[in-house]
A and B are shown apart, each in its own frame.
Chain A
Amino acid sequence: MHRLHVSIAAAVVLFVLPFAPVPDFWITQLNYIGLFSLVVLGLVLLTGVGGLTSFGQAAFAGVGAYATGYVSVAMGLSPWLGLVVGLAITLVLALLIGLLTLRMSGHYLPLATICWCLALYYLVGNLDALGKYDGLLGLPPITLGDFSFQSERRIYLLIWGAALLAAVGITRLLDSRPGRIMRALNTNRGGGTTMPEAMGASTFRYKLVMFVVAALLASVSGWLYAHMQRSVNPSPFGIKFGIEYLFMAVLGGIATVGGAFTGAALVKLAEDQLKVWLPMIFGGSGNYEIIVFGIVLVLVLRFAPDGLWPLVSRAVSRWLPARGVRQVDERVPSLGARAHPARGAPLLDVRKIRKQFGGLVAVNDISFSIRAGDIVGLIGPNGAGKSTTFNLVSGVLPLTRGEVELLGQRVDGRGSREIARAGLSRTFQHVKLVPDMTVLENVALGCYLRTKSGTVAAMLGLDRAEERQARAEAMRQLRRIGLGEQAHELAGNLALGPQRLVEIARALASDPSLLLLDEPAAGLRHKEKEALAEVLKQLKGEGLSLLLVEHDMDFVMKLTDRIVVMEFGRYLMDGTPAEVQASPAVRAAYLGADE
């Protein structure tokens, strides 16, 4: 028996419930829980996975509800048309807000969404066409042919159908080509934009996609809500609910699909109880439950930042069949490879590149070139500007001036994304792996540019063939560097040495013509260094072109064909390892000279 069977059994039970003699009260509760879960699933994607957040999800639900209200009541058209209109308006608004905020620091999006939620609340509350604060009444039920989803028990089917579809869609998305990029973006978990950009992905686009998907899910929830209530008014779409949705996500488990359902259920059930008990304690009436929610929110973030679902899931796991490791099928056809230059052909030509930070010239008119099949080392004392040079070549930093030509193509002034596309791949001095993805998934992320599946294909499961290829390719690269055994471990559990190797495997997975290694031996123990040297020697034997920045002289001398030496941002010399070792200038740069 598999986990999947358990999930299917749970889903079947869920859909049998409305036909069983379950009291109406519980059907109503479950309807609300389903509606909330739908919104919270979007927040799981946006906040838990992507590290962005929105307090405006209630407002997107409001757009869905009011759109269908207007279409079906004022215009007398089908609720299904209302759904389409609602989704269309939501799409436009989410794109607008996203385009304005997502290029900037992460805290502008939540601030913008708070404002947007308030603005929408006051707008619909004052528009005559939308019934001001009274709202719209007498919405028709949703019908499908002759079947009307009028009763609570019937709309239950729609609500939970939508919620489960969304859950399946999000789960699939997270385990896909776009999903791996999204999971790499979370700045709260050590992620960011540099690595995914260097793997060729437009991080802005994926942030926008996450925000739009979350908004659309909220909009669907609003549509269902409107036709369940058969009326629409502004209050369920105000900022209080916007905050409560986030509370549900945090309480349940911000990064997990199960957490969305747990949070929605807990908050709904607790809110009902609190609304009874608190007014008895405090007297009068009012939203006293927000006191409890507020305090619990602070406590959860302090003591259980991953929410309650992981705790529940761990406890339940003991009684469930073990989670099977998804095997990698290596017999699938391999991903397309690029045409690599012949050995000795010009590969990289760097001409007088320069980087100034204010008055400081970090890289001062550096020039060097690499031919295909070369292993070139870039060395120099601390602060010589090696890593900056690297970042200029790979497009991570914009250069002040100078030219970089990769495979006959000018790439200076381009971003790291385009340079990756041109055939360069790199590792990072500070390892940038996604700690809560497996080693295999981390390496598969490197296949980004060699695969095509987009967000919709992933959610619909149309990317499976390509996924198998990407996983097989990742496995091949892991075997190539000797880490095939650790493929299914979480990357965060590895020691630094293997992590650096995983970074190399990820870079290799993009099938680069030139591989840049930024201090691959930094911080490694002796044994780990030896293992790394073995891997690099092997890659050299396979004809791969390498440029590496390194501190460890011994390491560089043994490995490279040619060495470029920098000092204080300037070019000092280049030559074979023996020439460099013999050079008095280099010795002076490293050890100081008598003058």
Chain B
Amino acid sequence: MDLTIAAILGLDGLTNGAIYALVALALVLVFSVTRVIFIPQGEFVAFGALTLAALQLAKVPGTVWLLLLLAVAAAVLDLVQGLRERWPVARLAKRLLATLGFPLAAAGATYALAPHHPPLLVQVALTLAVVTAMGPLLYRLAYRALSSASVLTLLIVSVGVHFALTGIGLVFFGAEGYRTPAFWDARFDVGPLSLTGQTLIIFGASIALLIGMFVFFERTLAGKALRATSVNRTGARLMGISGDAAGSLSFTLAAFIGALSGLLISPSTTIYYDTGFLIGLKGFVAAVFGGLASFPMALGGAIGIGLIESFGSFWASAFKEVIVFTVILPILLWRSFVDPHHEEH
């Protein structure tokens, strides 16, 4: 291998690593706020990519129906709760509007605009809206009632949600894969490397998102509330921060980040209904590197995974996945030295 190849592989690894970093970020966020090990994060990535692909073909994406399904199910739960607890009509109506409003608007707009092949930016906006709206609904449907359950129970729930979403993905998108055209097909030659516009967009978007997250957590009240919840749920609740609202917000952010990752990755990788799982798990390996708690370490881990993957596929392409998933063993070994014992609460 000469330097040129190494540089190309390195760039490739960084590009993939940036995507895994986004996924890892969402996973750490969700875990620290809700203690949910969110296996289905990858499904958001796949849904983002597949939604954009459908919009490019001027078809109504299946995620619209999935979103409606989730919204109606959540609304039914609200209705049951409202009737059982004899809420006043106004309160019930307000709750239903909160549950249904954004999902219906996003689904409606997408349904109306899809056949007219709107400009790319509108497609991107619709995709982000549809997938992001699923985040809080999933939290509402699968996790909220179990918010005091053990990490293990929540993990098993996550696996159930992953199963259901993958199966539904198959129903709505079928078994064939899609790839979307690059957002920006410029090329820049930098020494031996040829940077594509898409690569720049991936880096740009990832960095922008990181900065955005940083500002959100450091500067905004909502961000500080999330941090407070992740440090101490009970304490935060006593300060008037609703654990449910924090959970809902973290799932919304996770869904948004997932959709964005999907948009970024879809021009360079063919996405199938079940591709998200592997992407999500690679994000997990990265997040474990940071003990599922540290954002900067998870970032480092993600870049590492990306590089290992690209170099691994050069040396032993058939065993690429084997290498990537075996890397978790040395990471765990290292963590077991770093992590002090903490089991009982």
Interface residues of A (CB under 8 A from B): 47, 51-53, 55, 96-97, 100-101, 103-108, 110-112, 114-116, 118-119, 122-123, 126, 187-188, 192-194, 239, 243, 246-247, 250, 282, 284, 286-298, 301-302, 305
Contacts and interface: CB of A to CB of B under 8 A. Distances in A.
B37 interface: yes
A302 B146 contact: yes
Contacts of B163: 243, 247, 290-291, 293-294, 297
Given A115-B281, A291-B164, A294-B165, A100 B336 contact: yes
B151 interface: yes
A567 B166 CA distance: 60
Contact of A193 (B155, B277, B339, B343): B343
A103 B152 contact: no
A291 B169 CA distance: 10
Given A101-B332, A288-B167, A243 B341 contact: no
Interface string B250-291: 000000000000000000000000000110010011001000
B121 interface: no
Contact of B161 (A101, A122, A194, A298): A298
B321 A118 contact: yes
Nearest to A243: B159
> Which of A115, A192, A247 lies at the interface centre, i.e. has the most chain B CB atoms within 10 A of its CB?
A115
A123 B322 contact: yes
Main secondary structure of the interface of A (DSSP, over half): helix
Contacts of A243: 159, 162-163
Given A115-B325, A297-B163, 18 more contacts: A53-B152, A53-B155, A96-B329, A100-B336, A101-B332, A104-B335, A105-B151, A105-B342, A107-B151, A110-B37, A122-B322, A188-B153, A192-B344, A193-B343, A290-B164, A291-B171, A301-B146, A301-B153
Contacts of A294: 159-167
A295 B160 CA distance: 6
10 contacts: A104-B335, A104-B336, A110-B155, A115-B284, A188-B153, A286-B170, A293-B164, A294-B165, A295-B164, A301-B153
Nearest to B285: A115
A296 B160 CA distance: 8
Contacts of B343: 105-106, 187, 192-193
Interface string B154-191: 01110111111111101100110000000000000000
A103 B284 contact: no
Contact of A104 (B159, B277, B284, B339): B339
Looking at chain B's contact residues, the main secondary structure is helix
B112 interface: no
Going nearest first, the 9 A-B pairs with the smallest beta carbon separation are A294-B164, A294-B163, A297-B160, A291-B167, A192-B344, A119-B325, A126-B318, A290-B167, A122-B321
B294 to A, nearest CB: 14
B153 A118 contact: no
Nearest to A132: B318
B156 A119 contact: no
Contacts of A101: 332, 336
A119 B339 CA distance: 25
Nearest to A55: B159
Given A100-B333, A108-B288, A122-B319, A298 B152 contact: no
A293 B333 CA distance: 34
A554 to B, nearest CB: 32
B322 A126 contact: yes
Contacts of A194: 344
A107 B335 contact: no
A96 B336 CA distance: 13
A259 B304 CA distance: 42
B220 interface: no
B326 A119 contact: yes
B265 to A, nearest CB: 19
Contacts of B164: 290-291, 293-295, 298
B170 A287 contact: yes
A230 B344 CA distance: 47
Given A103-B341, A106-B343, A192-B343, A116 B325 contact: yes
A126 B319 contact: yes
Contacts of A288: 167, 170-171
A292 B166 CA distance: 11
Given A119-B322, A123-B322, A108 B145 contact: no
Interface centre among A105, A110, A193, A294 (most CB of B within 10 A): A294
Contact of A301 (B157, B174, B175, B325): B157
Contact of A106 (B145, B152, B157, B285): B152
A287 B169 CA distance: 11
Nearest to B149: A301
Nearest to A303: B145
A565 B177 CA distance: 73
A78 B328 CA distance: 35
A472 B168 CA distance: 57
B292 interface: yes
A284 B175 contact: yes
A187 B345 CA distance: 9
A284 B146 contact: no
A288 B336 CA distance: 39
A288 B175 CA distance: 12
Interface in B26-47: 37
Nearest to A118: B325
B142 interface: yes
Given A122-B319, A187-B150, A297-B156, A302 B145 contact: yes
Q: Which of A52, A119, A193, A282 neighbours the largest number of chain B CB atoms within 10 Å of its CB?
A: A119
Interface string B121-164: 00000000000000000000110011001111101110111111
Contacts of B168: 291
In this complex, which of A126, A284, A296 has the most chain B Cβ atoms within 10 angstroms of its Cβ?
A: A126
Contacts of B171: 282, 288, 291
Contacts of A100: 329, 332-333, 336
A100 B157 CA distance: 25
B157 A297 contact: yes
A419 B152 CA distance: 32
B221 to A, nearest CB: 29
A111 B175 contact: no
A250 B153 CA distance: 10
Nearest to B167: A291
Contacts of A291: 163-164, 167-168, 171
A119 B326 CA distance: 6
A246 B284 contact: no
B332 A104 contact: yes
B232 to A, nearest CB: 16
Contacts of A47: 152
B284 A111 contact: yes
A115 to B, nearest CB: 4
Contacts of A55: 159
Nearest to A193: B343
Contact of A111 (B318, B328, B339, B344): B328
Interface string B292-308: 10000000000000000
A336 to B, nearest CB: 32
A108 B170 CA distance: 30
B326 A107 contact: no
Nearest to A123: B322
